[in-house]
Amino acid sequence: MTTPRFSSERLLQVLLAPLVSEKSTMLSDKHDQFAFKVARDATKPEVKAAVELLFKVEVKGVQISNVKGKEKKFGRFMGRRDHWKKAYVALKAGQEINFAAGEMK
């Protein structure tokens, strides 16, 4: 199976932010998985290609989930936060992403 080709401009827009929480830290320690907030229209092959391009690692698999925005009350009116998409990226054995390496000085 051939890997699909994506433009580098599109791949730079797919990953929005890493998700750093207790759950994502546990996943990275036990299962070599990392969580990212991704664009709403991102696909699994795009997320895989973007992570491989940006972090120079080999991706084993990608799981994506849609997260519903919370309903919030604004005074007497009900509103809703935006829906968003989360991607869990599993890396091959021996691969690692260190988010704090470049920003900590």
Six-digit token pair at 97? Answer: 């992403």
Q: Per the domain annotation, does 16 fall within a domain?
A: yes
Q: Which domain holds residue 70?
A: 8-91
Q: Per the domain annotation, does 51 fall within a domain?
A: yes
Q: Per the domain annotation, does 66 fall within a domain?
A: yes
Question: Residues 20, 26, 32, 33: what is their CA dihedral angle, to the nearest 10 degrees?
Answer: -50
Each residue's pLDDT, cut to its tens digit, for the chain (105 residues) gives 445 688 889 999 999 999 999 999 999 889 889 999 999 999 999 999 999 999 999 999 999 999 999 999 999 999 999 999 999 999 998 888 877 765 433
Q: Per the domain annotation, does 65 fall within a domain?
A: yes
Residue 55 CA to residue 98 CA, distance in Å, equals 9
Q: Per the domain annotation, does 70 fall within a domain?
A: yes
Six-digit token pair at 31? Answer: 């299962």
44: domain CATH number? 3.30.70.330
Residue 99, SS3?
A: coil
pTM above 0.95, yes or no: no
